[in-house]
Structure 1
Amino acid sequence: MTVLSTRALNRATLARQLLLDRAGLPVLDAVGHLCGLQAQEPQEPFTGLWSRLRAFDPAALSDLLTGRDVVRTHLMRRTVHLVTAADVLTWRSRHDAMLRQRVLGVYRRELAGVDLDELAAAGRAVLADGEPRSMSQLARAVADRWPGPAPRALGEMLVAALVPMAQLPPRGLWRTRAGVRNLPLSSWLGREVDPPSADGSDPVGQALVRRYLAAYGPAATADLRAWSGLAGLPKAVAAVRDELVAFRDERGRELLDLPGAPRPDPGTPAPVRFLPAFDNAILGYDDRDRIIDREHRGLSVAGARMVLVDGRVAATWTVEDGTVLVTPLRGLSPAERAAVGEEGGALASFLSDGAGDRTRILDG
């Protein structure tokens, strides 16, 4: 079985994630290809798409949100993702059990004795008037019926697990600060989410395997589980296995992939790219060695924004007074510093509508 080096996996990830060459895709198609973007920090998807698309216009993403073509919702790993309306309607039921279990993992003691189906029905009844509500408003509305649990436990279970919700604009619009207002997906999108398969098959799980590999492969089943949060995908993998090709990584793990998916030559040059906080190019794997050194792995879950140099995390970045500040995690050569400065200046210009293009690389 062919062994793929860490560098080969890196170049494959960059190609699948639209980070090797900026793509000319429409924004909606890019969001779909990426299987959504991590979005608990509302402005971060704009940087993520700017780094991936040619001539990205942030207004296009805002228009998709207000036009209900993309939705902010809890989905993979119980985190807020920006996904296409078509995907959330198809995928949400497949994530229901995982979402319940993850919220219970935090609030099991507080929610002991609460019938979750009754709680879901009570939440839906409150929301039946069509008025969006914050999590705290929804929790207060049902708290009289369940006075024991902390309101946050009730609210989070309702919003993140029991009732498929959309976080409504203006939250998530370009350069807009707004609190979270929730409305059931069925009200916002005009129809209920697709129900689970009645015959016990898992067509959605099988589609998720294919879609994940298209955007993240080659990858191990543990990587698929880490990205989705779903533990019950082995049958889906087995069902599509004859469609896939297999490799091994340098640790001996089996990696699966779509046969025609891009696997660039490991020597392919990789441009500097600035990633937003919690980008799935890093978080979408159990084994992240292909893109970040193990000593820096903790940064990926701490909300640090990353800079890729030669395809790997080599620095973090922030913005201060319109200047992109870069903190290297290793020594950068003069050529690398120049490339980081150029891309950082372009990012500063994007973030400021052309008012500034300054990058400062900090020295340790």
Structure 2
Amino acid sequence: MMDIMLSLKDVNRATLARQHLLRRHDGTAADVVHRLAGLQAQEPRPPYLGVWTRLAGFERAELHEALHAGALVRASLHRGTLHLVTAADFAAFRPVLAPVLDAAARRFPDLDPAPVVAAAERMLAERPHTFNELRPRLAAEFPGAYDRALGYAVRMMTPLVMVPTEDRWSFPRDPAFALPGVEQDPRPGVEHLVERYLAAFGPATAADAQAWSGLGGLKPVLKGMRERLEVLTDETGRELYDLPGAPRPGGDAPAPVRFLPDFDNLMLGHADRTRVLAEEHRAAVVTKNLRVRATYLVDGFVAGTWQVKRSGKKAKLLVTPFAGHPLDPLEEEGLALLAFAEPDAASYTLEAAS
């Protein structure tokens, strides 16, 4: 197909459209999770906030109930990190991502993970375990092995899902893990994963798809799919791939203020994050210990970070702008987010950090 050149704002608006950040999706929480090919879920609350900012009329109970029904699961997937995905996507994605997870498990060269995984599966067949329960049992069977290595090997190489509870954000600090009861489906394969990535994050390079998934070697995969993809270029001349007919509303499309949680997909879905995050602001968002701070978007780009401060019944959204801009445009969306995140507070305010 003929090359099309996209400006930075064209790429930005296309990505925001796929992420339901130009207009909230009118559907279900499971729809949003599926459309995004999973949400980063290192901590329990951020996926709820990530769905809230993308779904019209979202209420916490909907996601909570979907987790308890098993329609959605929280498990280790892309890049070996925790994600919230549909059960069907867990079954389809995990076989494709197995090399990433297996390689992570082998970071401890003195440990043979196969018998450890077999022992853990035997124990987990009895009942769900927290890793604080599982590690001592494994250590007793594998004396002399580093207990953290035992737990890590199991976490990466065994298809596990977290067991939801009645906690506000559906998981406690020390969650139990269980065998998922979902058969892995090897049929979709890597091309299916790439297509799902482009649907949620495109237009994108092979390096972007690799950064999101953790899989290497995707450049020849995308080249092999070239005949059924659109081939575009950005302002720097880089080749971008996209799905034919996927939304690309143009750089002049209006982009409303949006608040994104810690570890949001938008911050982690590309090798080159400049489509949403200027390079000079990267260090303010991604910390040295690899925490990805909560951010907010103004005109489609990250304009600052935010955090919730709670004092008794008072909840405050404290924003840290990267450059001077009025707070008025942030107030409606920010206070709505705060009311969702802190439903038992009696008052809500938005302030700029001094």
Question: What TM-score do the two structures reach when normalised by structure 1?
Answer: 0.89
1:58 to 50, 54, 60: 60
* Aligned partners of 2:105 and 2:113 also within 8 Å: no
Aligned partners of 2:19 and 2:54 also within 8 Å? yes
User: Which residue is 1:193 aligned to?
Assistant: 184
Q: 1:148 aligns with which of 135, 144, 147?
A: 144
Percent identical: 42
Q: Which AA in structure 2 matches 1:206?
A: E
Partner of 2:15: 13
7-16 vs 94-103, greater mean Cα deviation:
94-103
Matched, 1:123 2:120: yes
Aligned: 1:269 with 2:265: no
Shift of the alpha carbon at 1:353?
Answer: 3.1
Match of residue 318 from structure 2: 325
Tell me, which stretches of 5 or more residues in structure 2 are unaligned?
none
1:24 to 23, 26, 30: 26
Q: What letter matches 2:329 in structure 1?
A: A
CA 1:252/1:38 → structure 2, altered by over 3 Å: closer, same or farther? Answer: same
**Deviation of the 1:74 alpha carbon:** 0.3
One-letter amino acid of the structure 1 residue matched with residue 124 of structure 2: L
Q: Distance in 2 between matches of 1:287 and 1:270?
A: 20
Q: Which amino acid aligns with 2:54?
A: R
> 2:333 — aligned with what?
343
Q: Deviations over 1:142-184 (max 9, x none)?
A: 213322221011011102x121000111187537644221111
Is this contact kept in 2: 1:220–1:255, CA < 8 A? Answer: yes
Show CA shifts across 1:219-262 (max 9, x none). 00000000000114345323422110011112221100011001
Q: Give me the CA root mean square deviation.
A: 1.8
Kindly tell me: are residues 242 and 215 of structure 1, through their superposed partners in 2, closer, same or farther at Cα, counting changes over 3 Å? same
Matched to 1:152, the amino acid is: R
Query: How high is the TM-score relative to the length of structure 2?
Result: 0.92
Residue 302 of structure 2 is aligned with which of 309, 313, 329?
313
Q: Deviations over 1:336-361 (max 9, x none)?
A: x2111221111122223385563333
Change (3 A) 1:134 1:248: same
**C-alpha distance 339-184 of structure 1, shift in aligned 2 (>3 A):** same
Counterpart amino acid of residue 184 in structure 1: L
Q: Is 1:162 the equivalent of 2:157?
A: yes
State how far apart, in whole Å, the 1-side matches of 2:292 and 2:165 are: 23
Q: Which amino acid aligns with 1:324?
A: L
1:200 maps to what in 2?
Answer: none
Contact 2:18 2:200 in 1 (8 A): yes
Distance 1:136 1:358, change over 3 A: closer
**Structure 2 vs 1, CA of residues 349 and 136 (structure 1 numbering), >3 Å: closer, same or farther?**
closer
Distance 1:339 1:352 in 2: 21
1:101 to 2:92 alignment: no
User: Could you list the runs of 4 or more consecutive aligned residues of structure 1 that deviate by over 6 angstroms after TM superposition?
Assistant: none
SS in 2 for 1:358: strand
**Equivalent position amino acid for 1:124 in 2:** E
Which secondary structure does the structure 1 equivalent of 2:141 belong to?
Answer: coil
Note if contact 2:11-2:203 (Cα within 8 Å) is conserved in structure 1.
Answer: yes
Aligned pairs, how many? 344
Aligned partner letter, 2:34: G
C-alpha distance in 2 between matches for 1:163 and 1:352: 35
